[in-house]
Amino acid sequence: MTETNDHALAQPPEDEAAVEAAPAETAAPAETEPEAEPEVQAAAESEPVEEPSSETEGESRAEPEVPLAPSAVPFAAALEAKNPVEGKVIGWNKGGFHIVSEGVTTFCPRSLMELGNRPKPPAQYVNNTYTFHVLEIKEAGRRIVLTRRPAIRNERRRALDEIRAKQESREPVSGKVTSVTDFGAFVDLGGGIGGLVHRTQISRTRSGEPGDLLKVGQRVEAVVTKIEKKNGKRSSRISLSMKALEADPWKETAKSLTAGEQFRGKVVRHSEFGLFVELAPGLDGLIHTSQLPIGKSMSAPEFAVGEEIEGWVVEVAPRRRRIALSLREVPAGDPWKDLGKQYVEGAEVEGKVEQVSRFGIFVQLEPGLTGLLPMSAVKGADGNLARRAYHPGREIKVMIESIDRKRRRLGLAPPGSQLGGTKTDYKKYRQRQKESSGLNVMAAAFAKLQQPK
């Protein structure tokens, strides 16, 4: 006879692999009928339950020559029609589980409780009710074996069909986080179906490691972005996105930013080419190294991750999802379109050293207007370059040597330099030459007409 639920939980038998099909309410405890145990054990040892293949699973192997016990008739009908039956797990042994179905104690091998031969710990099944299919009936119905595999396959097919339908309609799916890794979180979607939320798809508005954003057991909603088969097999790999359900800051927030206005944001990360600043949840801008304050580098304490900084918006490109920022004042307009009267060739002006290179010193005269002081013009008397004297941020006086509006270039010279002639002077000279040449040609032609023929 089979063990009762309480006895099976307290001390699972080690060698029972099959049980008699008897009504659950009439099954006697093992200690009241000790003489029956050897018979059950002998039957289990002589006729072990073999795991069927998927092709033969559910096929009838009943023995028609012996009349069935009345309690086995419903199972024979279910076997023939391939209909499911419900059963409650009341105990287990090393070979499988004792199931009560239709008031009859049946048996399910452990390998047939799940797909892939990966059952859960036995105690997790006890007192739970599942859907089974009848696998075989033997000994005139005294031995009935069940399997969960067909029911699991049907449940997974239905669940996957529902997920595909939601993918097409962009309807979100819900599930429970089962594990969190460095690359994302796995989510149980029900019906034995699971999906992966990659770390880049967790959130638009929050940044950090997946373990900081999601916890095991947490209920989440996501959009199915991809369903693909694993190497052509039936099982599918499902990709999920939680951030797809969040509002896209590029559609609204980015539109409110305009070039030239000031911003305030938090430094979120460093790269080799600049700083990324969070302007709004999910909306970052880049400060290129060339746009740091004159004389400052990214290693400055005020640019550490988490620090609040202020600056100016240089460019907003929603299509490319890029925002260029600067910590240097951005001109309200184009200084080259209306170059001030103070910027003429030969004028002496003040500026700030912006950058020192091997061929010269860049001097900012005002935001958006920078000129070049050649390194050859600042050599010391001993022939050494005065690089140390012109450190970034230093205010100096320079003379405007040349202005090239077409290429937007300003040539500078040290103050008090004797200019041998400016481009402006040269242009005026060429103009006078053209005018003079034109008058001479006209005078010659007129004189020729006055000559007698």
- For the chain, give the percent of residues with pLDDT over 90: 26
Same domain for 90 and 206, yes or no, is no
CA distance 201 to 203: 6
Specify the pLDDT at position 15: 38
In angstroms and rounded to an integer, the radius of gyration of the C-alpha atoms of the chain is: 43
Lookup: tokens for 422: 């400016």
The pTM for the full model equals: 0.48
pLDDT at 86 over 60: yes
- The answer to whether position 340 is within a domain reads no
Q: How many CA atoms lie within 13 A of 128 on its CB side?
A: 12
Specify the pLDDT at position 221: 92
Structural domain total, the chain: 5
Specify the pLDDT at position 437: 56
Instruction: Give the pLDDT confidence of 246-264 residue by residue, as tens digits.
Output: 888 887 777 788 887 889 9
Specify the pLDDT at position 442: 56
CA distance 39 to 2: 11
Q: How does DSSP classify residue 293?
A: P
177 phi, psi to nearest 5 deg: -70, 125
Same domain for 13 and 143, yes or no, is yes
The tokens 């004042």 sit on which residue?
329
| Over residues 301-318, mean pLDDT | 90
Same domain for 9 and 111, yes or no, is yes
188 phi, psi to nearest 5 deg: -85, 115
Mean pLDDT value across the chain: 77
CA distance 141 to 143: 5
Same domain for 17 and 134, yes or no, is yes
Given 147, 179, 210, the domain boundary residue is 147
pLDDT at 393 over 90: no
Residue type, 427: K
- Give the pLDDT band (50/70/90) at residue 39: very low
- Give me the long-range contacts of 315-321 (CB less than 8 A, separation at least 24): 315/259, 316/254, 316/257, 316/258, 316/259, 318/250, 318/254, 318/255, 321/250
Same domain for 253 and 240, yes or no, is no
* Least confident residue range of 234-238, 298-302, 432-436: 432-436
Specify the pLDDT at position 6: 39
Lookup: tokens for 10: 């307290």
| Over residues 189-203, mean pLDDT | 88
| Over residues 426-438, mean pLDDT | 56
Same domain for 226 and 188, yes or no, is yes
- Give the pLDDT band (50/70/90) at residue 383: very low
- Give the pLDDT band (50/70/90) at residue 30: very low
pLDDT at 10 over 50: no
In contact, 345 and 381? CB cutoff 8 Å: no
- The answer to whether position 133 is within a domain reads yes
Pairing of strands 104-109, 129-138: unpaired
CA distances from 127 to 75, 122, 158, 377 (A): 21, 11, 25, 93
Q: Which residues face 210 on adjacent strands? A: none
pLDDT at 169 over 80: yes
Specify the pLDDT at position 38: 34
- Give the pLDDT band (50/70/90) at residue 142: confident
- The answer to whether position 333 is within a domain reads no
In contact, 196 and 240? CB cutoff 8 Å: yes
pLDDT at 275 over 90: yes
Lookup: tokens for 193: 């179906």
| Over residues 126-134, mean pLDDT | 94
Same domain for 265 and 383, yes or no, is no
Question: What domain range is 47 assigned to?
Answer: 5-147
